[in-house]
Chain A
Amino acid sequence: MNETQQYLAHLAEMRALMERSSRFLSLSGLSGVWAGICALAGAGAVYAYLDMLPLSATDGYYYEKAIRTVKWGMDYKRAFVLIALLVLVTALAGGIFFTTRKARRQGMKVWDGSSKRMLWAIAVPLAAGGVFCLALLRWDLPALVAPSTLVFYGLALVNGSKHTLRDVEFLGLTEIALGLAGLFYLGNGLELWTTGFGLLHIVYGAWMYFKYEP
């Protein structure tokens, strides 16, 4: 069955070409691990700002305390937005670094049709979520911010996963689940945020790293 072998080889090659041309496969698991570390540092900064420890609600919930807090010369809105932006920028910078490095090792381009499509798919729900959360702060609803960031980030990942490694979809679904749970358990919002953005990133990132980058 020489012909059969040949057809099978053709099919395998075609499948590889379809994958390689339509999905961004250079996303590095280390990007996820780094994002998780940045998020843990950010969560630490928020706990420090509020003078609280995880899973403690001595002076009321964290969001009640936030409204009363002015520290480091900032009210809670400025502090939260500043910390969030710092986390986002450092996480992105590291993500770009590790992903560029992986692409170079694979001999693939970083900036091509597939990575542009992936970024656009992620950027739209993420930007909408960012503005949504700014509006929550505008109306003094800090309790809803942490779970909302999880929900929107999860939706962004599920959307973006169509253009990159499929594993990202599972991460997205877990983030959405955590966010939705957080909307019902507002008092644990910070802990769920730390779990979703910190621990899950590290766990999924390490798992993807060992799966794809041996």
Chain B
Amino acid sequence: MKDIITHLNPAFDHRNRLGIMSILVVNDWVDYNTLKELLSLTDGNLASHLKALELQDFIAVRKKFVGRKPQTTYGATAAGRAAFKAHLDTLEALLHIAREGELD
């Protein structure tokens, strides 16, 4: 079990980061305010998690103008998707082991 835990990606070691990735893997591009609303986070909190994921190259950032307002949208990169999937696989394996343990 220890062995599997080391596979859990520390970049996702926070429920809000998992939340961000969950939204971005099922949507192409999502703007900042929608993310904020869906996750019910404060600006500072969301920005720091987005920055962390961006530094890992798990998400890509796109800035554009809608009328006169700048709009920032975020999308998952291929690397981000792969890492997120691996993380989910690990979680699944851990839960599987835990369930078998309970049965014994």
Contacts and interface: CB of A to CB of B under 8 A. Distances in A.
Contacts of B23: 17-18, 21
Interface residues of A, number: 18
Interface stretch (A8-16, A132-140, A187-195, A201-209): A8-16
A112 interface: yes
A22 B18 contact: no
Chain B CB within 10 A, most for which of A1, A11, A13, A14:
A14
B102 interface: yes
Given A1-B102, A14-B18, A21 B95 contact: no
A134 to B, nearest CB: 34
Contact of B26 (A1, A11, A13, A22): A22
A71 interface: no
Given A10-B15, A18-B23, A112 B95 contact: no
Given A18-B23, A22-B26, A10 B34 contact: no
Contact of B15 (A3, A13, A21, A109): A13
B71 interface: no
Interface string A7-44: 11011011101101110000000000000000000000
Interface in B1-41: 15, 18-19, 22-23, 25-27, 30, 34, 37-39
B94 A17 contact: no
B19 A113 contact: no
A4 interface: yes
Nearest to A117: B27
A20 B38 contact: yes
Contacts of A8: 95
B61 interface: no
A113 B25 CA distance: 15
Given A10-B15, A10-B18, A4 B98 contact: yes
Interface in B46-91: 91
Nearest to A9: B15
A11 B92 CA distance: 9
B27 A113 contact: yes
Contacts of A109: 37
A113 B18 CA distance: 21
A33 to B, nearest CB: 30
Contacts of B37: 109
Contacts of B22: 14-15, 17-18, 21
Interface of B: 15, 18-19, 22-23, 25-27, 30, 34, 37-39, 91, 94-95, 98, 101-102
**Closest CB pairs A-B (n = 3):** A14-B22, A4-B98, A22-B26
